[in-house]
Amino acid sequence: MTDENDNNRPLGLVLLCGLYLFFFILTVTSYGSPFPFLGRIYIGTVAKIIVFIDSLICLYLFLGIMKRQALTWYLLIGYNLFEVVNTIVNLNFITPAEIERVIGEHVDREALMINNIASALAILLLTQYIYRHRHYFNNRGRYLF
């Protein structure tokens, strides 16, 4: 059994950590842009608040993976499943015409559908990987610091 302070991290855990760091950076860079959330596109202050909260969650997940925190395993699965649900709800309730109105450019309907389904599938596969590698998260500490 590895110690929670062990610096010999499995490659899968390092890649997972890098992925959630990437998600954090991606979320932070969307600050101030319109944000689709649960079937609506938010603009302005509300969008900034949602992006800020999402950024904090991604940062927590990144740090939790680094610390191998057991609680993070549950949060990763919950966050990923919520993202899939959010994608499905957005696909069903946000029309391409509404997206075109908000961004001011033409949106290819088929590409929008394919890209969203592909990203949801990728998140589901990532969640399956996380679920199967629970043993990586062996730090039973309640707090990150």
Tell whether 1 is covered by a domain.
no
- Which residues form the domain of 53? 11-136
> Does the residue 145 lie in any domain?
no
Q: Is 142 contained in some domain?
A: no
pTM for the model stands at 0.87
Asked, for residue 109, whether it belongs to a domain, the answer is yes
Each residue's pLDDT tens digit, 115-139 = 999 999 999 999 999 999 999 999 8
- Ramachandran class of 82: left when φ > 0, alpha when ψ lies in -120 to 50, beta otherwise: alpha
Q: Is 36 helix (H, G, I), strand (E, B) or coil?
A: strand
pLDDT tens digits, the chain, 145 residues: what are they? 444 455 677 888 999 999 999 999 999 999 989 999 999 999 999 999 999 999 999 999 999 999 999 999 999 999 999 999 999 999 999 999 999 999 889 999 999 999 999 999 999 999 999 999 999 999 888 777 7
What is the number of residues in the chain? 145
In a domain, 126, yes or no: yes
Measure the CA angle with vertex 78, ends 77 and 82; round to 5°: 115
Q: Is residue 76 part of a domain?
A: yes
Looking at the domain assignment, is residue 48 inside a domain? Answer: yes
Domain membership of residue 2 (yes or no) is no
Say if CB 47 and CB 33 are below 8 A apart.
yes
Total number of domains constituting the chain: 1
| Residue 7, pLDDT score | 61
